[in-house]
Amino acid sequence: MNENTHDHTHATHTHDGKPIQNDDRPPIEAETLETAVRELLIDKGVISAEEIHREIEMKDGKGPELGAKIVARAWVDEEFKTRLLTDGDSAVLDFGIDMRPTELCVVENTDEVHNMVVCTLCSCYPRAILGIPPAWYKRRDYRARAVREPRSILSEFGTVIPEHKQVRVHDSNADLRYLVLPQRPAGTENLNEEELAELVSRDSMIGVSDIPS
Amino acid sequence: MDRRFKPGDKVRVIQRSQPGHVRTPMYVRGKAGVIERVVGSFPNPETLAYGQSGLPYKILYRVNFMQKELWDDYEGKPDDSLEIEIYEHWLEAN
């Protein structure tokens, strides 16, 4: 957290020998504000440094594997899939995920529709299911272009959507969080739920890629 | 809470300039769409963001727009669309 508590610095290397970039730009206003508020909250005993640390670890510990399990369950269990699509919050409780105060909206890719997700205003993302969003998801060019020229962005991800298919973009701008339910690839009839989950990529659940057959 | 719109209703996003924590992006303001579904009632982010209660709650809808309506020069396919959440006080019947 506070760099001054680190008793020695490594200007040109990390312990695993990789070069590091010096963080020599001045802090942006929001970083200064965050540090000030955090230190005040700790000084006044509102929260402890340990609690902050635990929360960061918890957030960092979540990843797209959880989403992949949910997708695989939906592929093999029709009743679960219906629940996931109609009442996402209740369905993911089966996996110990609590979406509150947001709500989960699961959108299904079909032969007719390809869904993709963006948050044009900031970086809203189903963190409880997919973890921390990838850097590109937060970039201005993705956020601006995903709503303006989705097919062009998709092709840059290697995803070419056939002409007969509708592309439907979901701008995650308010209280819902979106998860794309990708299409189950052909030729996976013999795989079990666990094996299917291994096929499901993070990007397929954001809707910028399909899962190859 | 009373809901002014139901799924299938034609609506238009109000063209209004408003500073602050507004969740209605510029690119949909003034545009015509169709109610996809009623999401429910949520605290108003325009006051919630400033430490207030967010009361009274606002009805939130998911609205579907044809891309051709949003962008005159849209280059994708004619039935490509976009869905976004819009609070009731940003919508008018169309």
Q: Does B56 fall in a domain?
A: yes
Element (H, E) at B69: helix B67-70
Q: Does B2 fall in a domain?
A: no
Q: Does B39 fall in a domain?
A: yes
CATH (domain of B47): 2.30.30.50
Hey, what are A146's tokens?
Answer: 């995903």
CATH 3.90.330.10 residue window(s) in chain A: 64-206
For the question of residue A105 being annotated catalytic, the response is: no
**Residues A64-206, CATH architecture:** Alpha-Beta Complex (3.90)
* pLDDT tens digits for range A178-194: 999 999 999 999 999 99
Give the Cα separation of B44 and B57 in Å (integer): 6
Say if residues A181 and A85 touch (Cβ distance below 8 Å): yes
DSSP readout, A48-71?
Answer: -HHHHHHHHHHHHH--HHHHHHHH
* pLDDT tens digits for range A102-130: 999 999 999 999 999 999 999 999 999 99
Residues of B in contact with A151 (CB under 8 A): 75-77, 80
Task: Answer whether B76 sits within 8 Å of A163, measured CB to CB.
Answer: no
Query: Into how many domains does chain B fold?
Result: 1
Chain B residue with minimal CA distance to A153? B76
Q: Does B5 fall in a domain?
A: no
Report cis status (omega within 30 of 0) of the bond before A101: yes
For the question of residue A119 being annotated catalytic, the response is: yes
Chain A residues contacting B via beta carbons under 8 Å:
103, 105, 120-121, 147-152, 163, 166-171, 173-176
pLDDT of B52 over the 60 cut = yes
* pLDDT tens digits for range A18-38: 666 666 778 889 999 999 999
Ordered alpha helix ranges (H), chain A: 29-43, 49-61, 64-76, 78-86, 88-93, 127-130, 135-138, 140-148, 150-156, 193-197, 202-206
* pLDDT tens digits for range A90-99: 999 999 999 9
**Chain A contact present for B91, CB below 8 A:** no
SS3 A118: strand
Q: Helix A49-61 vs helix A29-43: angle between axes, to the nearest 10 degrees?
A: 130
Number of helical H runs and strand E runs in chain B: 2, 5
C-alpha angle A199-A153-A105 in degrees, rounded to nearest 5: 60
Confidence class for position B92, pLDDT limits 50, 70, 90: very high
The residue segments making up the domain with residue B20 are: 10-93
* pLDDT tens digits for range B19-45: 999 999 999 999 999 999 999 999 999
Question: Dmax of chain A from CA atoms?
Answer: 61
Task: Answer whether B82 sits within 8 Å of A147, measured CB to CB.
Answer: yes
State the burial class of residue A49 (Cβ atoms within 10 Å of its Cβ: 0-12, 13-18, 19+): middle
Rounded mean pLDDT of chain A? 91
**Mean pLDDT to the nearest integer, B83-89:** 98
Residue A176: other Cβ atoms inside 10 A: 23
Q: Does B16 fall in a domain?
A: yes
Please name the residues in contact with B61: beta carbons below 8 A apart, sequence gap of 6 or more.
B5, B11, B35, B36, B37, B38, B39, B85, B86, B87, B88, B91
* pLDDT tens digits for range A133-167: 999 999 999 999 999 999 999 999 999 999 999 99
Q: Which one, of A180, A196, A179, lies nearest residue A188 by Cα?
A: A196
DSSP code for B89: G
Share of chain A above pLDDT 90, in %: 81
Catalytic one of A105, A119, A201, A209 = A119
Q: Does B1 fall in a domain?
A: no
**Mean pLDDT to the nearest integer, B47-70:** 95
Give the Cα separation of A9 and A22 in Å (integer): 11
